[in-house]
Structure 1
Amino acid sequence: MMSTPTPSYLQHKLTTFTLVIGAILFSFTLEKQANSAEPKRTPNIVFFLVDDLGWKDIGVYGSSFYHTPNVDGLAASGMRFTNAYAACQVCSPTRASIMTGKYPQRVGITDYIGAAQPDKWKRNTPLLPAPYQTRLALEETTLAEALKQRGYATFFAGKWHLGPEGNWPEDQGFDVNIGGIDRGGPYGGKKYFSPYGNPRLTDGPDGEHLPDRLASETVKFIEQHQDQPFLAYLSFYSVHTPLMAREDLKQKYDEIKQRIRFAGPIWGEEGKSKLRLVQEHSVYAGMVEAMDAAVGKVLDALDRLKLTDNTLVIFTSDNGGLSTSEGHPTSNLPLRGGKGWMYEGGIREPLVVRYPGVTSPGSESDALVTSPDFLPTILAVVDKPGDKIDTDGVSIISALEGKPLDRGPIFWHYPHYGNQGGSPTAAVREGDWKLIEWYEDGKVELFNLADDIGEKQNLADQQPEKRKELHQKLRQWRKAVGAILPTANPNYKATK
């Protein structure tokens, strides 16, 4: 005999049925809302490139003298890279590499533009430097051109140094060019202060400071284009020579020096060059802080306009800090050497990347990164259709996500004599190992950077197999990119 359901049983069944139907309807509503929501906007790109900034010149990288709260704050909200490199130990090749995603040897710009060509060589050196291209060819597809093709507004401010008029930023894909010309420094007018004497930068009030002006122009562009995807490329003239700072900042660091009273030697040697061992140059410190304040002005604008969460920010430098000549304003220790040298002080760079939703705040990566990687990384972030661009770099998205980056070796080739004491060299780094070849005498140096970041112990004789392996990879790469070698100097006098 069947029993009659009790009221409580019927009530339970009804309640369960109601909950199930409610859950289905709620799920359907969420799905409908998700499908009707606006698609996520294409990310903006802000790229800060600082001239001659050394690996140790930022607080978060270990400087205890320079004041860099804004870049330190960017690192706290993003990712700091410990093994990031410039494509060259001097400026123009690295800048060409960032613009094209290629090694400098591919585009022929292997020295800073303005350096003497071999047919004009006057120095008594064993080798004649290799010839190099003096402009970034218009046929190259630049980062700006690639992003314009993908619907971006493009802006450039600051140092260009990639060729004469006709090859300036406005000819290479940038809608706006503020101050980008052929010069390698702020050499017109009052240099770092208005009037600037720059044909692509109108003068401001007398005494206006260049890094602040460039930041203000960048902010103005961002405000005008906040409703569309944009590339804002702020390429500082700072902290390149001439060594000039605001007087208030110079006085600030003079007072700090008086309080600290550094112990130990200030100077050492790198080869035949005088080498600064301690960061205590007041003018240079003022230049670093002014650059940092300019970075802060742009980052504050992103916050104010509520663009931060949809903006990829990259901060880096074009070569190592100037430590062996031209005022010797900074120290790169514990790295060896500085600008113009193939040692770590000449090529290892600060690199901070903030990609909201991808990079973990305050994170760190030891992935190997080099200048050609920026263009493919940015295009991977943008993820919009456009012409395919052949690059030597790789996307570092996996590193930004905190995952391993399997990218193989990275290479350098500098067939020139720099102004800072360095001479023609080539190098390769793979994993912890780095090999340097000196072109004058064929000497090879091999370092394990995990154990010897200061490159003090040459292991070429103790590790013949590793030396042979890396040297072979370097030769193969030179051939692949069409690297031009220096040649014997017929006028060289060994007795001089």
Structure 2
Amino acid sequence: MKKLPLWVLIAALPISLLLSCTERSKETTSEPPNFVFILVDDLGWTDLSSFGSNFYETPNIDALAASGMKFTNAYAACPVCSPTRASIMTGKYPARMEATDWFGAPQPDNVDKHWTKDKPLLPAPYLEHMKPEEKTLAEAFKEAGYATFFAGKWHLGDEEKYYPEAQGFDVNIGGYHRGGPYTGNRYFSPYDNPKMTNGPEGEHLPDRLAAETASFIEQHKDSSFLAYLSFYSVHTPLMAREDLKAKYEAKRDSLGLQDKWGEEGDRKHRLVQSHAVYAGMVEAMDQAVGKVLAQLEQSGVAHNTVVIFMSDNGGLSTSEGHPTTNLPLRAGKGWLYEGGIREPMIVRWPSVTQEGSESQVPLTSTDFYPTMLEIAGIELQPDQHKDGKSFVSTLKGSTESVHDAIFWHYPHYGNQGGSPGSAMRKGDWKLIHWYEGNRYELYNLAKDIGEEHNLAEEHPDRLASMKDELHHWVEEVGGKIPQPNPNAAKAQL
């Protein structure tokens, strides 16, 4: 017999018994918690003031961090968007789902039309959608009686059967197959998004998505809800409100900031946060977060709402305008170095997480699914979220590791210059296996967060042990391996 959540059992009690409890305050009732999940696109590890930025201003998110728990070793399951988003929805590593690249990237049979056509390796094949048979996080909450809402970027399939409303969300505002706001006036109305009506001319997309989320919260304040706000921000195209652009141009000049560049592979790499347009995009996103947090207070549900904040991959530092830097982390979006996968993460669980606390426990995006179910008192589903680990104990203050190891598999050439590879973190140690040239890099992140010193030759025993574990994991999840590209040899002739 299926185990029912505690709150369902309580709801079934005789009305006379329930009425005897009306003198207790809302804060002490056992009503099911609400959830607001905020996912930002392409936000780097140091793109928030509370995570180290001295240029971008993010007072609302900083206040969220001050009222909850900040995680400094939180990871996306992939250095690009779609796979990470699927990992949150399913609790599985992208490699297990055969969904290892952003949906729309080249396949091995059409790479001849892509800039990587002469690279030494063909990209591994991948599914360009999240499988409909996956029981999503939203479906699990909907089954438990929650109202479910989605707003913003989806990018998990190019047909209606893959869209949010087919994957457990009662409401979908703006979520379809595109990975960015590329239609209409892009970040400003008219948007010409088939899943969202146009607003007044000039309306700003992050504010609109926040307003839709706030409206849903107010409408469902007397019931249990899951609101999933998935910003298109701060993904390209790089566009900011004129007032914020002017603000950061003036701030950049007053601080005497100048663009500085390094190199990562064959790409130039931004070394200073000084991009005024990007800074304006970050602040506008922060203002939108503030609108949602304010609505929780106004609707009287903040005390019983778990708020989660996360990014889907590292900040864009080596391509497409090079708008930010993730220093002291190496590289950024599209790379298996820390800059591509380590994310700013915050969780506020009222009366549980200690205000202003910080956790160094390594976690990854597969972990949200079982954690949220456990918080809500919904039965765990280990056959579904088989790669996720609940970190409820971490939220309660434990410093014990949740994972023995965390893994990545990205067998593709990234638009940002990254190469096909697999990686793992075990304790303070990180191993990267680059398939091109069959090379290995080993780093001690506790001593070398910037991954500057490859210790593979100095620690042969550790290297051998981690290699075996990584290879076993890739095989266990069915990871696809990139194959030699026959066109590469021809290109050298």
Q: Compute the TM-score of the two structures, normalised by the length of structure 1.
A: 0.91
Instruction: Decide whether the 8 Å contact of 1:43 with 1:312 is kept in 2.
Output: yes
- Within 1, Cα distance between the matches of 2:378 and 2:154? 27
> Which residue in 2 is equivalent to 1:57?
47
Partner of 2:486: 490
Say which SS state the counterpart of residue 492 (structure 2) adopts: coil
Query: What is the match of residue 14 of structure 1?
Result: none
Counterpart CA distance in 2 for 1:316 and 1:443 is: 31
CA separation in 1, counterparts of 2:209 and 2:376?
Answer: 25
1:86 maps to which of 76, 88, 107 = 76
User: How many residues get paired?
Assistant: 464
Aligned to 2:471: 475
Aligned-pair distance for 1:404? 2.3
- The answer to whether the 8 A contact 2:370-2:380 is kept is no
Secondary structure of 1:76's aligned partner: helix
Partner of residue 301, structure 2: 307
The answer (yes or no) to whether the contact 2:441–2:454 under 8 Å persists in 1 is yes
What is the percentage of aligned positions where both structures have the same residue? 62
The code of the aligned residue for 2:140 comes to A
Q: Distance in 1 between matches of 2:274 and 2:381?
A: 48
Alignment of 1:80-159 (within 5 A): 80-122=70-112, 123-159=117-153
1:269 and 2:252 are equivalent in the alignment: no
Cα offset for 1:345? 0.3
Deviations 1:372-391 (A, max 9, x none): 00000000101134766432
Q: Distance in 2 between matches of 1:216 and 1:449?
A: 40
Cα distance between partner residues in 2 of 1:328 and 1:390:
37
Match for 1:327 among 321, 340, 343?
Answer: 321
Residue of structure 2 in register with 1:192 after alignment: 187
Does structure 2 retain, via aligned residues, the 8 Å contact 1:150–1:385? no
Q: Is the 8 A contact 1:396 1:405 kept in 2?
A: no
Aligned to 1:383: 377
Give 1:495 shift.
Answer: 3.0
How far has the Cα of 1:306 moved from its partner? 1.5
- Determine the C-alpha separation between the residues in 1 that align with 2:422 and 2:128: 21
Distance 2:281 2:436 in 1: 36
Structure 2 counterpart of 1:267, one-letter code: W
- Structure 2: distance between partners of 1:449 and 1:387: 33
Distance 1:386 1:478, change over 3 A: closer
Alignment equivalent of 1:248, drawn from 243, 248, 273: 243
Query: Which of 218, 221, 225 is the aligned partner of 1:223?
Result: 218
Look up the equivalent residue of 2:93 and give its one-letter code: Y
Of 180, 203, 207, 2:202 maps to: 207
Residue in structure 2 matched with residue 439 of structure 1 by the alignment: 435
CA shift digits 1:402-459 (9 cap, x unpaired): 1023321000000001100001011000110000000011110000000000000000
Q: Report the Cα distance in structure 1 between the residues aligned to 2:188 and 2:139, rounded to whole angstroms.
A: 31
**Within 5 Å, which residues of 2 pair with 1:154-193?**
154-164=148-158, 165-193=160-188
CA RMSD in angstroms comes to 1.5
Task: Give me the TM-score of the superposition, normalised by structure 2.
Answer: 0.92
Give the deviation of 1:484 after TM superposition: 0.6
How far, CA to CA, are the matches of 2:350 and 2:125 in structure 1?
A: 43
Q: Does 1:337 align with 2:331?
A: yes
Q: Please give the per-residue CA displacement for 1:140-159, whole angstroms capped at 9, x wherever unaligned.
A: 00010000011100000000
Q: What amino acid maps onto 2:317 in structure 1?
A: S
Q: 1:344-367, CA deviations, whole angstroms, 9 ceiling, x for partnerless residues? A: 000000000000111000000000
| Structure 1 stretches of 4+ moved >4 Å | 32-39, 385-389
Q: 2:424 maps to which residue?
A: 428
1:10 is matched with which residue? none
Structure 1 gaps, min length 5: 1-31
How far 1:223 moved relative to its partner? 0.7
Q: Does 1:455 align with 2:451?
A: yes
User: Contact between 2:135 and 2:384, CA under 8 Å: does it hold in 1?
Assistant: no
